[in-house]
Amino acid sequence: MAQKGSNASEVLLRAKEMDEEIFLTTLSREQLEKSGFDTSVFGSFEFVNVYVLWDGEFVLKYIFDADPSQFYYEKESEIGDLLDVVKKYISIGGE
């Protein structure tokens, strides 16, 4: 379940203050593609769990099909407008 009731700013603040990864949402492959994420390099998967964490900068962590060995990290510096991406993920995941 997405972080309903939490806005993106609160989620980011909580991740930074608590120094731990915070679950954002679960997205299907189609939902992730709808957000603009290029899934073509990740092979076959049905869904992805998305987390945010603080590691000197914000990082999005993607775990594919709930397999901890199948993960991808995306740094804030690679993302652009992190707040916008987090809002989009929460919104899409809550559909």
Rounded CA gap, 38 and 55, in Å?
Answer: 24
Is residue 6 very low, low, confident or very high in pLDDT (cuts 50, 70, 90)?
A: low
Q: Quick one: CA torsion of 19, 24, 29, 35, rounded to 10 degrees? A: -100
Tell me what the mean pLDDT of segment 69-79 comes to.
Answer: 94
pLDDT, greater one: 1 or 36: 36
Domain residue ranges in the chain:
8-93
- Write down the pLDDT at residue 64: 98
Question: Which ranges of 1-95 does DSSP label H, i.e. alpha helix?
Answer: 8-18, 29-34, 76-79, 82-93
Is residue 95 very low, low, confident or very high in pLDDT (cuts 50, 70, 90)?
A: low
